[in-house]
Amino acid sequence: MTRVINEAVSEAMSNYDEKLINITYGSSGKILSVETDSVKINLLRALVTEKINEKIKSYSEYTVTISFSNIMDDEIVFGRFPSWRIPASVEPNGSAETTVKSSLTSAGINQSLHKITLSVKVRITAMLLISTVDVETDTDICIAETVIIGEVPSVFLGKES
């Protein structure tokens, strides 16, 4: 699933030329503000979600090989049968859920790190012959990161603990 997520994000980001962050400078060249374009970020989020869901649907049905003793699901039977393999059809069913997170953290003396992260949660249910298997994958992907550098003071006394 992680591969599906990474491929979908790569496709979406490579085809998305919009600026997600706008930096405003003052007359002296100093940064006055860092503004995120929430409309463009939400469009990217929707595009990533759509790409992931398309990829999940593209795995519409495939065949796996299951050992006969695994089908019996009984500890007594494991290893007692020859390695007969039975082809089984798997039908994946699932969807992706994405959310955007923004954080501002200290990155040094008078420096801040602004980071926008796309959190992706994918839930898949694979339907086998006589059972279902649920798989859930969570991952965070950085879609924008900006270091904001302020003026460094001539004297730094440190932080109080």
Q: Which of 161, 85, 147 is nearest to 115 (CA)?
A: 147
Could you read off the pLDDT of 16-75 as tens digits, one per residue? 777 888 888 888 888 778 888 889 999 999 999 999 988 888 776 666 666 666 666 666
Question: In this structure, are residues 124 and 56 in contact, taking their beta carbons and an 8 Å threshold?
Answer: yes
pLDDT for the residue 115: 92
Average pLDDT over residues 138-157: 81
What angle, rounded to 10 degrees, do the helices at 2-14 and 38-58 form? 130
CA-wise closest residue to 13 among 146, 138, 147, 142: 142
* Nearest in space to 5 (alpha carbons), one of 91, 93, 90, 97: 97
- Mention every residue, 6+ apart, whose C-beta is less than 8 A from residue 24: 31, 32, 33, 34, 35
**C-alpha torsion 148→151→154→156, nearest 10:** -40
Q: What is the DSSP letter of 71?
A: H
Mean predicted lDDT score pLDDT of the chain: 79
Handedness of CA 69, 71, 75, 77 (dihedral sign): negative
Q: What is the pLDDT of residue 82?
A: 61
Which residue has better confidence, 105 or 29?
A: 105
- The whole-number pLDDT of residue 99 equals 93
Please compute the mean of the pLDDT values over residues 73-79 and round it to a whole number: 63
pTM here is 0.68
Per-domain residue ranges of the chain: 2-59+93-149
